Amino acid sequence: MSNQMELKRTLTLWQVIFLGLAWNTPMIYFSVFGVAYEGSSGLLTAAYFVAVLAVLFTGASYAIMAKKIPVAGSAYTFAKKAIHPNAGFLVGWVLLLNYLFAPIIAAITFGIFLHAEFPSVPPFVWIIGLIILLAAIATRGVSSSANISRLFVILQIIFMMIFCAYLIYGLVSTGGAASLTSTEPFINVDMSLPVVLAGASIVVFSFLGFDTMTTLSEETINPKKTIPRAIFIMIGIVGVLHVGTSYFVQLSHPNLTIVDPDSAALELMGIVGGSLLRSVFITVLIAAIFTQGLASITSVSRLLYVMGRDSILPKKLFGYVHPKLKTPVPNIIIASIISLLAIFISIDNAIRFVNFGALSAFFFVNLCVISLFFKNKTRRSVSQVVTNLVCPLIGAVFIAWLLALLELPTIFGGLLWVAAGFIYLIYLTKAFKQPLPDAESTEKTEEIPEKQAI
Summarize pLDDT for 395-415 with one digit per residue, the tens. Answer: 999 889 888 888 888 899 999
pLDDT for position 396: 93
Residue 31, pLDDT > 60, answer: yes
pLDDT for position 233: 92
Average pLDDT, rounded, for the chain: 84
Banded pLDDT at 365 (limits 50, 70, 90):
very high
Summarize pLDDT for 326-349 with one digit per residue, the tens. Answer: 888 999 999 999 999 999 988 878
Banded pLDDT at 228 (limits 50, 70, 90):
confident
Banded pLDDT at 444 (limits 50, 70, 90):
very low
CB contact set of 108 (below 8 Å; sequence gap of 6+) = 127, 342, 345, 346, 347, 350
How far from 378 is each of 60, 61, 224, 372, CA to CA, in Å?
21, 20, 22, 11
Q: Which residue has the higher pLDDT, 304 or 190?
A: 304
Report DSSP state, residue 15. H
Region 61-84 average pLDDT:
83
Report the alpha-carbon distance of residue 89 to residue 422 in Å, rounded. 9
- What share of the chain has pLDDT > 70, as a percent? 91
Banded pLDDT at 254 (limits 50, 70, 90):
confident
pLDDT for position 4: 43
Region 186-203 average pLDDT:
83
Please measure the distance between the N-terminal and C-terminal CA atoms of the chain and give it in whole angstroms.
31
Banded pLDDT at 367 (limits 50, 70, 90):
very high
Banded pLDDT at 3 (limits 50, 70, 90):
very low
Banded pLDDT at 7 (limits 50, 70, 90):
low
Q: Are 436 and 105 in contact (CB under 8 A)?
A: no
Summarize pLDDT for 112-171 with one digit per residue, the tens. Answer: 888 888 889 999 999 999 999 999 888 876 665 566 677 888 999 999 999 999 999 988
Region 220-234 average pLDDT:
87
Question: Rounded to the nearest 10 degrees, how much is the dihedral formed by the CA atoms of 252, 255, 256, 259?
Answer: -170
Region 226-241 average pLDDT:
90
Residue 439, pLDDT > 70, answer: no
Region 351-374 average pLDDT:
89
Residue 424, pLDDT > 90, answer: yes
For residue 413, count CB atoms less than 10 angstroms from its CB and return exposed for 0-12, middle for 13-18, buried for 19 or more. middle
For 3-452, CATH gives 1.20.1740.10
pLDDT for position 77: 83
Residue 260, pLDDT > 90, answer: no
CB contact set of 290 (below 8 Å; sequence gap of 6+) = 106, 110, 130, 133, 134, 152
DSSP of 299-314, one letter per residue? HHHHHHHHHHHTTSS-
Residue 315, pLDDT > 70, answer: yes
CB contact set of 121 (below 8 Å; sequence gap of 6+) = 114, 115
- What share of the chain has pLDDT > 90, as a percent? 27
Region 422-441 average pLDDT:
83
Region 55-73 average pLDDT:
83
Cα angle 361-365-368, degrees, rounded to a multiple of 5: 140
Banded pLDDT at 426 (limits 50, 70, 90):
very high
Domain residue spans in the chain? 3-452
For the chain, count helices (H), then strands (E): 18, 0
Backbone φ/ψ region at 378: left (φ over 0), alpha (ψ -120 to 50), beta:
beta
Banded pLDDT at 359 (limits 50, 70, 90):
confident
pLDDT for position 286: 85
Report the alpha-carbon distance of residue 297 to residue 435 in Å, rounded. 30
Q: Are 34 and 224 in contact (CB under 8 A)?
A: no
Summarize pLDDT for 263-287 with one digit per residue, the tens. Answer: 788 889 988 988 889 889 988 988 8
Q: Which residue has the higher pLDDT, 395 or 447?
A: 395
Exposure string (b/e) for 311-344, b if CB count within 10 Å is 16 or more? bbbebeebbbbeeeebbbbbbbebbbebbebbbe
Banded pLDDT at 54 (limits 50, 70, 90):
confident
Mean pLDDT is lowest, of 4-18, 75-89, 135-149, 437-451, for 437-451
